[in-house]
Structure 1
Amino acid sequence: MIKDSYQTKQRLISTNQESNHLDSNADQQPTQDYNRSSINASQAPQKPRGFNLIKYLDLQDRKLSRCIHQAELPHFEYLIVAFGTIFNRLYCFIPIFITCALAAQQPEKLTILMTNHSQKYASKLEENGGNKLSLSLFWLIFNTFLLLILLFTTQTLKRLIRRNRPSALRVARKINLTDIEKGTLSMPSGDTAQAALWCGLMNLFFQSQTVMFMVPLVALGRIYYQCHYIGDTLAGGMIGFFIANLGFVHFDRIASFIFPMVI
């Protein structure tokens, strides 16, 4: 009797051990499956990230521009600031008045130019002897018209691109231009665009190639005083030259609206 009860007890113990072993295996199986899946996921090939050309160019532009932002040229600052401000929106009327003065000083050249482009008004110009006042008024309106197109283009692009201006660095500057540009956007550079427009007109209509050196100097001034990046000035220069060439190519159409006002 004692022997039977002992055997029964041994059977119960072995049965319990087997059930516990099965339960532990069942508990370990999800963990093992999870570990295997995580290992497989880590070993799976990662998808390569796409190359963003715009971000790359923006980064390189900032790096190159920072070299000029940090430069110190104390002996040339007053010269640089002159080019950095002359085509600012606050002083954009100065180049226009220079154009009008050139038109008054060189009436023969402009009369020939207008005669070649607009035969319809050639006789009236000859009768008036290339009237200086008429020529000055014409170039005042013509230049202002192209300038308005340029301002509309640059301001629209600024709002579309929405590139912020460079962060002001603690670099010694005798004149602070960054405060003037607070709250405005950076791309493209309006000052460089206006410089390219005016110099382009001088080159195309007055055959004055020497003024072209002003465009890179204006761009340098805008970058040096931390108002723009290099890319901003390049974009502004291209826009200005494009609109100047546009005015030269379509001179007849534009002149047909302006001449009746001044002749």
Structure 2
Amino acid sequence: MLRRLDTVDKKYSEYVHKWDTHYFELPFMFAGMIFAPFIVPFVVASIYLISVIYFRSDDDITDGHKLFNKAFGYTMVYLLWVILGLILTVCMKKFLYRERPNPGKTARLMELRWNEHNGAFPSGDTLQSAMYVGYVLITFPLYGPNAYLQYLLLVAVPLVAFSRIYYHCHWIGDTIVGAIVGFILSAFAFLTTKAFY
């Protein structure tokens, strides 16, 4: 069964690997790198900024010191789960080793495989994107007539997943599992935050 799934996964992934988007590649290049480990500090910093903006309208927060403490606390909890997510990804890649796709000769504006030295399963970038999007949506929900706009953030997860496949870093199955694990971790991050605050 697993061998059959692997064959189907690789077959359909090859279609994405062979695509050539020409002048429309820039968004995929950006999405393919935005949740890379060397960008993670900036992603974590964005949680602090979102926290500050979100909690400024909280009536329980009466001064800047309380606002800083709450935003910093939320950021540190998220950072803890980012680190746990990275550790989980490394362990899964090591123990469930899967070869990465062969880059072949498909032309790309930038080669993203240069920094990939471990297994393909699961996609760590997709995991981090799903954890980020899930955490932001359930921790900082918006209300009112424009609340639906926050769900546009969900587009980030399939865009990152597609980009990681497009740049020959992963197979489709790697990104699906990465997204599922990421959303699960975002729920744990939210529950941890609520336990402390």
TM-score for both structures, normalised by structure 1: 0.68
- Cα deviation digits, residues 51-88 of structure 1 (max 9, x gap): xx010000111000000000000121111110000001
Match of 1:144 among 68, 71, 79: 79
Partner of 1:177: 112
Partner of 1:204: 138
- Cα deviation digits, residues 206-263 of structure 1 (max 9, x gap): 123221110000001100000000000001000100011122234343x26xxxxxxx
Partner of 1:186: 120
Unmatched tracts of structure 1, length 5 or more: 1-52, 113-124, 257-263
1:101 aligns with 2:49: yes
CA distance in 2, matches of 1:205, 1:212: 14
Give the SS at the match of 2:119. coil
CA distance in 2, matches of 1:218, 1:186: 15
Partner of 1:5: none
**1:126 Cα shift?**
4.1
Partner of 1:4: none
Partner of 2:12: 64
CA distance in 2, matches of 1:130, 1:219: 39
One-letter amino acid of the structure 1 residue matched with residue 42 of structure 2: I
| Preserved CA contact (<8 Å) 2:120 2:174 | yes
- Aligned-pair identity in percent equals 26
Partner of 2:145: none
One-letter amino acid of the structure 2 residue matched with residue 76 of structure 1: F
Partner of 2:144: none
CA distance in 2, matches of 1:249, 1:140: 14
Partner of 2:147: none
The aligned runs of 1:154-165 (5 Å cut-off) are 154-165=89-100
CA distance in 1, matches of 2:162, 2:102: 17
- 225-234 or 93-102, larger mean C-alpha shift: 93-102
**1:177 Cα shift?**
0.6
One-letter amino acid of the structure 2 residue matched with residue 65 of structure 1: S
CA distance in 2, matches of 1:89, 1:250: 23
TM-score for both structures, normalised by structure 2: 0.89
Partner of 1:240: 182
Partner of 1:79: 27
- Alpha carbons of structure 1 residues 250 and 220: separation in structure 2 relative to 1, 3 Å: same
Q: CA RMSD in A?
A: 1.7
Give the SS at the match of 1:106. helix
Greater share of helix: 1
One-letter amino acid of the structure 2 residue matched with residue 231 of structure 1: G
| Preserved CA contact (<8 Å) 1:107 1:131 | no
| Preserved CA contact (<8 Å) 2:127 2:178 | yes
Larger RCO: Structure 1 or Structure 2 (Cα < 8 Å, ≥ 6 residues apart)? 2
CA distance in 2, matches of 1:140, 1:103: 8
The count of corresponding residues between Structure 1 and Structure 2 is: 189
- 62-71 or 153-162, larger mean C-alpha shift: 153-162
| Preserved CA contact (<8 Å) 2:56 2:67 | no
Give the SS at the match of 1:163. coil
| Preserved CA contact (<8 Å) 1:215 1:237 | yes
**1:129 Cα shift?**
6.4
One-letter amino acid of the structure 1 residue matched with residue 32 of structure 2: G
| Preserved CA contact (<8 Å) 1:107 1:130 | no
